[in-house]
Amino acid sequence: MIERYTRPEMGKIWSLENKFAIWQEIEVLACEAQAEIGECGITKEEAAWIREHADFTVDEVDEIEAVTNHDVIAFTTCLARYIDADVPEGDPKPSRWVHFGMTSSDLGDTALCYQITQALDIVIEDVRSLGRICKRRAMEEQDTVCVGRTHGIHAEPMTIGMKFASWTWALKRAEQRLLDARKVIAVGAISGAVGSYSNIDPRVEAYVCEHLGLEPDPLSTQVISRDRHAQVLSALACGAATLEQIATEVRALQKTDTLEAEEPFAQGQKGSSAMPHKRNPITAERVCGLARVIKANAQVGFDDVALWHERDISHSGAERVVMPDSFTAFDYICSKMEWILDGLVLYPANSAANLDRTRGLIFSSKVLLALVESGITREDAYAIVQRDAMKVWDDIQQAGDGPTYRETLEADPDCTLTKEQLDHIFDPRGFLQRKDVIFERLQAVKF
């Protein structure tokens, strides 16, 4: 991921420095396990020497790989140089025990899974932080009335708080998917060339995994099965889709013709190089754009599941791109959505004006039900309600004014509703008399 969208903590996790540090720890742990078990010739003293002297630099590994064209061999070669540097001439070289009985995927796959758990811990907290913001704002705005829209068309009154509450629940589901993915990916494998432990004791695997906080993969065929990685990328993609949904709503509400909400506009910010008046939802748009990258990367994860026989490396190059990019982009857009939603500017007066924009048409469902309750068939009631609604709609489009929907109903002899009934119907709070159950449920959400 480009530096522009990389936050430091996440960037550090996907750095070569961190990857090689994990590789080093796995190799050292494997040596210590071999010495503890005592089934090969390594002594505890040699394992301690390896622990003390093992080291690397990224530049040295890269230099060696330029010759070997194999990153694991380049790394173990570099490690050996440091381990053996101070060994007296003629003494056995402790580095011979490094990578003993292991294959490259034992190292690379176990390390990658560990890296992914590190990254997941960050994005899980990202989602929780965003969820807490949404819940707080939902409770604050639970009584701020606005019009709901279906198909982009005014539907019935609701509240701004309900929007935040809906996002809170979606983020709670995102959190659970990420937690499930973490459990699935938190595995390691030190099982040899085709996963049969042909040259290494399974207790080495158990030792290494325990010290890394992983579980041994029950059966790795040299590689850890990529359905696990696909689940991780899928969880990120689903979470990104939720962030895109929220950002899209912010963008829609910020349109000049709607303007019920607006993302923060910082002091000194410029909206357009040509039009100084512009205050564009550029951050929400950026969230939507990067969400597309994360969603697309999930497909790569699915494609990586099918490998030839016990293993090929068709997944490897793709993973080196999509895994860090997806995590880095997700972490970034979470931070941007926190900024947007925590500081989202609301315009209740515009929301109230938009409620009246269709001159009362949004109350049609209440009129329909009241007529049905008065004894009229649903079909006849619908005909009356729609006929009068279309009159008002045509007046709005043709003249921009005219009688309101209530006035049109009052003038219609087929509408038998009393003034008191219409007073009750044309009160937006009538749609919200049961909204408290929504916010009572929301109270149970914990992040």
Residue tagged active-site, from 198, 272, 314, 365: 272
- HEC states along the chain? CCHHHCCHHHHHHCCHHHHHHHHHHHHHHHHHHHHHHCCCCCCHHHHHHHHHHCCCCHHHHHHHHHHHCCHHHHHHHHHHHHHHCCCCCCCCCHHHHCCCCCCHHHHHHHHHHHHHHHHHHHHHHHHHHHHHHHHHHHHHCCCCEEEEEECCEEEEEEEHHHHHHHHHHHHHHHHHHHHHHHHHHCEECCCCCCCCCCCCCHHHHHHHHHHHCCEECCCCECECCCHHHHHHHHHHHHHHHHHHHHHHHHHHHHCCCCCCEECCCCCCCCCCCCCCCCCCCHHHHHHHHHHHHHHHHHHHHHHCCCCCCCCCCHHHHHHHHHHHHHHHHHHHHHHHHHHHHHCCEECHHHHHHHHCCCCCHHHHHHHHHHHHHCCCCHHHHHHHHHHHHHHHHHHHHHCCCCCCHHHHHHCCCCCCCCHHHHHHHCCHHHHHCCCHHHHHHHCCCCC
272 is an active site residue: yes
Catalytic residue among 151, 273, 277, 309: 151
Q: Is 151 a catalytic residue?
A: yes
| Catalytic residue numbers, as ranges | 151, 272
